[in-house]
């Protein structure tokens, strides 16, 4: 049907999810539905909203990101999809602007996301304050207004993006050979470009990323990152997540050479 479905993934993160729903509730234009792919730990009671909320239960690996996104898209009822990670708060105009952009362009559209500090968006919040506190991404430059085509498919990321449902289906969704953490979104961006689908950046702010603790590099995900990097390299003949891989190598955790990654045991590290 005509309209826009918002799709999100959740594994716990009850406060983040509540803020995402609150952001959608405050939207100038309400979404036609919110589909939540529950990877475990979803709160038993969700905030009330003036739009339908449906839940898809996802079984499997700890973070089956590709499969969860595909399931949410398959169950969506609208012809436009907005993928929004659970730690994002949508700006009031995001639904209006992404809907208009998808009407105008058959493309992979990423809105600008501003990053919040640890004390922002706690308890009650106002969008004006989030806009004032939010920081731009350090390596992704967005247009000051309107839309701009981005030739570098590696700058696609799945934090927040819009796509027409028929186009998502034609691409085959995310490759579920990628399991756990890392590279499934870069692969999707590369496949979109190979299919002739342009990456388009949209002026914002479109959403605000809620702060949460992270490790850099994410050593707790090293096994997933190694496995997914190998899958990506075999498809595209280059390494994804190069910043993380280089950091692992600098820490003596992996050996990266001749198109292969080898995880080093402690006894292997001189």
Residue-by-residue pLDDT tens, the chain, 270 positions: 899 999 999 887 888 999 999 999 999 999 999 999 998 878 778 888 999 999 999 876 677 899 999 999 999 999 999 999 999 999 999 999 999 999 999 999 999 999 998 888 777 899 999 999 999 988 889 999 999 999 999 999 899 999 999 999 999 999 999 988 889 999 999 999 999 999 999 998 999 999 877 788 899 889 999 999 999 999 999 999 999 999 999 999 999 887 789 898 654 544
- Long-range Cβ contacts of 260-268 (<8 Å, 24+ apart): 260/230, 261/226, 261/229, 261/230, 263/222, 263/223, 263/226
Q: Are 26 and 128 in contact (CB under 8 A)?
A: no
Please name which of 150, 186, 183, 189 lies closest in space to residue 168, comparing C-alpha atoms.
189
Residues 6+ apart with CB under 8 A from 110: 150, 156, 157, 160, 161, 162, 199, 200, 201, 202
Phi, psi values for residue 188, rounded to 5°: -65, -40
Q: Are 248 and 223 in contact (CB under 8 A)?
A: no
The runs of H, that is alpha helices, within 38-115 are 65-75, 94-104
Beta partners for residue 257, in sequence order = 260
Exposed, middle or buried: residue 269 (CB in 10 Å: 0-12, 13-18, 19+)? exposed
Counting every residue written for the chain, the total comes to 270
The torsion defined by the Cα of 93, 88, 106 and 173, in degrees rounded to 10, comes to: -160
Structure tokens at 158: 């799945």
């Amino acid at each position: 049907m005509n309209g826009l479905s918002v799709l999100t993934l959740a594994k716990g993160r009850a406060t983040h999810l509540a803020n995402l729903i609150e952001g959608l509730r405050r939207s100038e234009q309400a979404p036609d539905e919110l589909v939540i792919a529950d990877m475990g730990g979803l709160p038993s009671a969700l905030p009330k909203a003036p739009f339908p909320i449906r839940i898809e239960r996802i079984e499997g690996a700890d973070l089956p990101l590709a499969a969860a996104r595909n399931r949410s898209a398959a169950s969506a009822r609208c012809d436009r999809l907005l993928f929004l990670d659970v730690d994002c708060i949508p700006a009031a105009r995001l639904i209006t602007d992404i809907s208009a952009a998808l009407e105008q362009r058959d493309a992979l559209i990423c809105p600008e996301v501003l990053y919040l500090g640890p004390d922002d968006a706690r308890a009650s919040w106002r969008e004006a304050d989030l806009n004032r506190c939010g920081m731009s991404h350090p390596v992704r430059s967005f247009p000051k207004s309107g839309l701009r085509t981005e030739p570098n498919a590696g700058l696609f990321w799945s934090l927040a993006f819009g796509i027409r449902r028929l186009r998502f289906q034609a691409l085959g969704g995310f490759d579920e050979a990628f399991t756990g953490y890392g590279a499934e979104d870069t692969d999707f961006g590369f496949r979109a470009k190979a299919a002739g689908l342009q990456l388009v950046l949209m002026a914002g702010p479109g959403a605000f990323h809620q702060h949460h603790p992270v490790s850099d590099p994410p050593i707790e995900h090293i096994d997933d990152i190694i496995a997914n990097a190998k899958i990506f390299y075999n498809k595209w003949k280059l390494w994804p997540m190069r910043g993380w891989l280089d950091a692992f190598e600098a820490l003596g955790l992996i050996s990266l050479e001749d198109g292969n990654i080898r995880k080093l045991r402690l006894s292997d590290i001189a």
